[in-house]
Structure 1
Amino acid sequence: MTENTSSLVNDAKQALMQSRFNDAISLCERAINLTPADPTYKDALYLKAVAQRLDRQIDKALTTLTTLLQAFPDYGRAYQEQGYCYKQLGDESQMASAFYRATRFNPALVPAWQELVQCYQRHQQQQALSLANEHIKHLTALPKPLLGAMDLMHEGQLHKAEKVCRDFLQTHKHQIDAMMLLAEIGLKLKVYHDAEFLLESCVALYPDNEAAAAAYQSLLGKLGKYPQSVALARQRLAKNTNSVAVKSALANALVGLGELDEAITLYRSLMDNQVGNGALWVQLGHALKAKGDTVDAIDAYEQAVKAEPDHGDAYWSLANTKTYQFSPAMIRQMAHYEGAKSTSLDARIHLCFALGKAYEDAKDFAKSFQYYQKGNDLKHRTQQFDIERTEKAMEAQKEACGSALYKHKSGYDVPDPIFIVGLPRAGSTLLEQILASHSHVDGTMELHDILSIASSSSNQSVPYPFNLASLSDETCTALGKQYIEQTKAYRGAAPFFIDKMPNNFIHIGLIKRILPNAKIIDARRDPKACCFSGFKQLFFDGQEFTYSLSDIGRYYNSYVKLMDHWHSVFAGEILTVQHEAVINDLEGQVRRILDYCQLPFEPGCLTFYNTRRVIKTPSSEQVRQPIYRSGMTQWEGFKPFLTPLLEILDT
């Protein structure tokens, strides 16, 4: 069937080139009807719209494009085609909006930029004109293969784009545009180790290239390598002492490192001349929230809304405090911007999740779920998450890491790390706060170091995790030492520290190979409550499985099966803590956790909400107050809408 649809699309392209528009439309319709799930569905809809426009069926073309953008809301070429349709209709406002969106989703679309230049010239928008011309100058200066690769990347054809870049670098070694583009493709493919090596090389080879430094800075933050990020930001600032972007990057890195006072001071100094910058207000709010200054954080988020009323992240940040109550006027304002055509896709997603929270607080569960579903659908369509691939990855862990692999213990045998793993929104932040209230334990954050080691330890012939069997004792010890050294920047003087990256449950086999004495706590919560809580949470990065009820249900089931395997392999070495048990018997569970960690009981662990520390997860405000029970049943009001999830969890 795939071959048939591909053939139809290719025939449609030929018909289009020969100006046989009706034939092209007919061929596209046959391809569309044959299998909407086929990858060529997107191409068929796009070609149909082009043929309809060229045949002067503008209204039909716009209808086709609406269908296309509902399925693929980040498809740049569809917006460009929309712009051409509105141009033929003489609707300059809609035309400019469409071409602008096209360039936001695919900055490699030179024709869209050129149309914007003409529009900006007509309306004497000098600043926008200057930026557009600068971008066109950059694009047209690129070697044609790289411009083509950039276009492929932004249209989601990552492997094709990667091949073009690698072929180009074969004959143009160390060409900086190719290296940076290949790194960006690597990021989208989640090949973080390769992307890091490329950008680090760019900075070393071209120390004065600010774009390379900015890209490397961004990646270091994404990987949680905040000490390196702070060092790089200070180097950049020495060369660009007045740069708002560099100062903001330094402040972001300082927040990551936990140096909140310096970060907040830097943000506030920037606000003196950037009062209308909504993004900066939001970043300041995040720093204040991490510190525990909730009132000031809310004020910063509200200032962001005043500065930019369509700044979706500002509304979501208010909702994400979990305590903020939206006024009816604010809800109307959010609904207005969520429905406005000029609102960006990213802002719409943030607004949908914020509106979901607002209506949930008002007990209007139907309307709340409508917005949660809409936000999740939009987010899901912009990603290339494949739950089957994830399920296979978890099965590979079970296959590669059997009991025989651990009969002979190797690795760095220090007892320092306490890993808290599980699904997001399962109560791990509460467990971290309890343990971090102990005098012998440092709380850190969700550290990326195990994920980084897993990514970088694989090799061409034996991929991870199957390579774990071939690691020598010396290599295991070296990797364990590497982890301990890398995490020192986030620790204080306590003998133990917490790594609360939830996704580390996948890598317990690696952890036990390189850190055999590590403690591992599996944070569990009622599956229905846990999965729905993840579904209504918009995460800053990662956790792609949460944006579909069926995906999150399948992910949860795979997680439980994998944890059962780890418990079998490491019998008695992993502690499962049920969130509901902590709520019902706090002291009993605290004593149980401390016994497992071989720590003496301290009363401060029961009054964990009094512990002042940096917390950057969505639960930050919830763990700064005593135990409460309302979160246990929040999902029940949404039960009529959760059938796809409940059916999977009950199987």
Structure 2
Amino acid sequence: MSALPAAARALLQEAARALRTGAPAAAERLLARAQALCADAPEVLVLQASLLLHRRQPAHARAVLEAGLARHPGHAALRCEYGNLLNACGEGEAALAAWEAACALDPQLAVAWYNRGRNHQLRGETAAAIATLERACALAPQALPPRVLLADALLHAGRLDDAEREYRAALAVDPACGDAWRGLSNLKTRPLGAADAAALQAQLARRDLPAPDRIAMLFALGRLEEDRGQPRAALDAFTAANALQKRLTPWSAEAFRTYVQQALAATATLPAPVDPRLGEEVIFIVGLPRSGSTLFEQILAAHPQVEGASELPDLGIVLQQESRRRGQPYPQWVAQASAEDWHRLGRDYLARTARWRRRRPRQTDKQPDNWKHAGILRAMLPGATIIETRRDPLETAWSCFKQPFYSQPHFANDMADIALYMQGCAHAMQQWRARDPARIHLHVYEDLLAAPEARIRALLDDCGLPFDPACLAFHRAERSVRTASAAQVRQPLRADTARALAYGSLLQPLLDLLALPWPF
């Protein structure tokens, strides 16, 4: 902004700070004053579009940016913001092209490299994400978002030493960076040390700590105390983290009960599919988070015919778009959908995920929440295989309680909600499996530990895959693993991963909740 008048620069900087800290009304007032000084300046248009996107006015933001680009076609920041707009509108390929153009126009624009890297990361293109995020970090070494996202990408690629180095580099810039502490905690094969304990306690003693950072650090402290054999201290830290998160983003147990009842009723009768083989390329892995689903996917992804796509949002997006088109929330419109409607939606999903089948003929989709849609798949993607994963209920519930989830509100912030969610999932999947036994298969984590080769053969058989010995050495598979278990699945099978028993009677309240029948 060096070419702008000093007064305009100051107003724009203050407006950007106001928008970033959640004060859009103040940002709008400051922006109006800046516009009075230099209305057509590209930097003003960039901030104006950011504000409009924040206010969920993408059409207006698009008009502002396209008019600005017509006048300033070579302005990199305008092109970069246009990429943000396209991405918000669901035009991912066009967004990536806009960010690439911004990088070409100004190779020193760190934010354009960061946006490119974030896009590659979300698309599962981990090698490209690492390369572009390294460039962003080199251009802006004090910026935290590219540094943390680079560390995440390195973790997903299995480069654990490099990931730890980048997380700690972020903490060197800001010792209260919650995302960096969250990342270090997700290096589950590497315990935090005494120096980390002192650093966490010092930061948690601050009164000015933002809630998201405090939550992330409490989770990290809980993990640290668990690793050093202090179950009471660990439970206290996890409980404090979850209580604060639940206050910020409450989860509705009643809405969940209603959803399960509606989904089961709506899917009781579905039309015969137009093409019974549609979707046979896809293997859905569903169930509870922390139930071993990443491990089962890693085994399948070691097979030469299967691409491990990790947690894809596409099935939910296709259903959300159909809900908007019909003006009714899912699953209320399910009973009205014809066989042709389901065929169209299935083809939409396959088109959205086609890139995962370019190298290999089949793909996984390991989005645990897709269990909520398992009932419609026999009409929408009748050829698909569905693998439901389960693990010991107490271990699953406890692992959920101590995991910081990005997506909020989340059932895992309260033990009673965890128990309700687990019971609802089991109840619904049991009914859907009875309706579609040829395509929905249950696999249990503890059974895999007890008889690895037999259970891996059974898994491959359920997926219609020939046995391949590479699946026995799944931990050697070179792929991006974009989940909280990224470090763990790089190791051979271990029988010593259970943690809940070490808490003894401290977890009896959770055990009692898990024994309640559905619905409670």
Secondary structure in 1 matching 2:497:
helix
Correspondent of 2:30 among 117, 122, 137: 137
Question: How far is 1:226 from its partner?
Answer: 5.5
Equivalent of residue 145 in structure 2, options 276, 279, 283: 279
Q: Do the aligned partners of residues 182 and 561 (structure 1) sit closer, same or farther apart at CA in structure 2, a change above 3 Å counting?
A: farther
For 1:305, give the aligned amino acid.
L
| Aligned twin of 1:96 | none
Paired residues of 1:226 and 1:256 also in contact (CA < 8 A): no
> Could you tell me which residue of structure 2 aligns to residue 605 of structure 1?
471
In the other structure, the counterpart of 1:645 is 510
- CA drift at 1:588: 0.7
What are the residue-to-residue correspondences of 1:223-622 with 2, within 5 Å?
227=93, 229-238=95-104, 241-402=107-268, 404-407=269-272, 413-458=278-323, 459-460=325-326, 462-542=328-408, 544-622=410-488
1:164-195 deviation line (CA, Å, top 9, x unaligned)? xxxxxxxxxxx978963553xxxxxxxxxxxx
- Name the SS for the 1:550 alignment partner: helix
Residue pair 1:310, 1:337 contacting (<8 A) in 2 also: yes
- Once the two structures are superposed, residues 17-62 of structure 1 have per-residue CA deviations (whole angstroms, 9 ceiling, x without a partner) of xxxxxxxxxxxxxxxxxxxxxxxxxxxxxxxxxxxxxxxxxxxxxx
Deviations 1:284-319 (A, max 9, x none): 111111111111111111111112112122122111
User: Is the contact made by 2:110 and 2:139 (CA closer than 8 Å) also made in structure 1?
Assistant: no
Q: What is the distance in 2 between the residues matched to 1:284 and 1:176?
A: 27
Deviation at 1:406, TM superposition (A): 4.5
CA distance in 1: counterparts of 2:391 and 2:116, whole angstroms = 37
* Counterpart AA for 1:203: R
Q: Secondary structure at the match of 2:372?
A: helix
Please point out which of 53, 58, 71 is paired with 1:199. Answer: 58
Unpaired runs of 5+ in structure 2? Answer: 1-16, 36-47, 69-77
What residue is the counterpart of 2:500 in the other structure?
635
Cα distance in structure 1, aligned partners of 2:61 and 2:141:
34
Query: Equivalents in 2 of 1:177, 1:249: separation in Å?
Result: 14
Q: Contact 1:226–1:254 (CA<8 Å) still a contact in 2?
A: no
**Rounded Cα–Cα distance in structure 1 between residues aligned with 2:424 and 2:402:** 20
Rounded to whole Å, the distance in 2 between the matches of 1:201 and 1:139 is 16
Instruction: Quote how far apart the aligned CAs of 1:425 are.
Output: 0.6
2:49–2:62 Cα contact (<8 Å) kept? no
Instruction: Give the structure with higher Rg (CA).
Output: 1
CA contact (8 A) 1:410 1:514 kept: no
Q: Which moved more, 1:454-463 or 1:293-302?
A: 454-463
Aligned-partner SS, 2:511: helix
Q: TM-score, normalised by structure 2?
A: 0.84
Q: Label 1:383 to 1:476 Cα distance change in 2 as closer, same or farther (>3 A).
A: same
Instruction: Say which SS state the counterpart of residue 538 (structure 1) adopts.
Output: coil
Conserved? CA contact 2:273–2:343, under 8 Å: no
User: How many Å apart are 1:430 and its aligned residue?
Assistant: 0.4
Q: Which amino acid aligns with 2:213?
A: A
2:59 & 2:28 partners in 1: Cα distance? 25
Deviation at 1:201, TM superposition (A): 7.2
In 2: Cα distance, 1:206 partner to 1:411 partner = 46
Q: Equivalents in 1 of 2:49, 2:131: separation in Å?
A: 35
Shift of 1:603: 0.6
Report 1 or 2 for greater relative contact order, CA contacts < 8 Å, sequence distance ≥ 6: 2
User: Is this contact kept in 1: 2:24–2:51, CA < 8 A?
Assistant: no
8 Å contact kept, 2:18–2:24: no
1: CA distance between counterparts of 2:32 and 2:276?
A: 49
Is this contact kept in 2: 1:203–1:212, CA < 8 A?
no
Secondary structure at the aligned position of 2:386 is classed as strand
| Distance change >3 Å, CA 369–CA 290, structure 1 → 2 | same
Distance in 2 between the 1:608 and 1:462 partners? 43
Q: 1:438 to 1:226 in 2, by over 3 A?
A: farther
Structure-1-length-normalised TM-score: 0.68
Cα shift at 1:542:
4.3
CA contact (8 A) 1:199 1:216 kept: yes
Query: CA deviation digits over 1:241-278, x for unaligned, max 9?
Result: 43222211111111222333332222222333433333
Aligned residues: 477
Q: State the SS of the aligned residue for 1:457.
A: helix
> What residue identity is the alignment partner of 1:557?
Q
Q: Which has the higher helix share?
A: 1
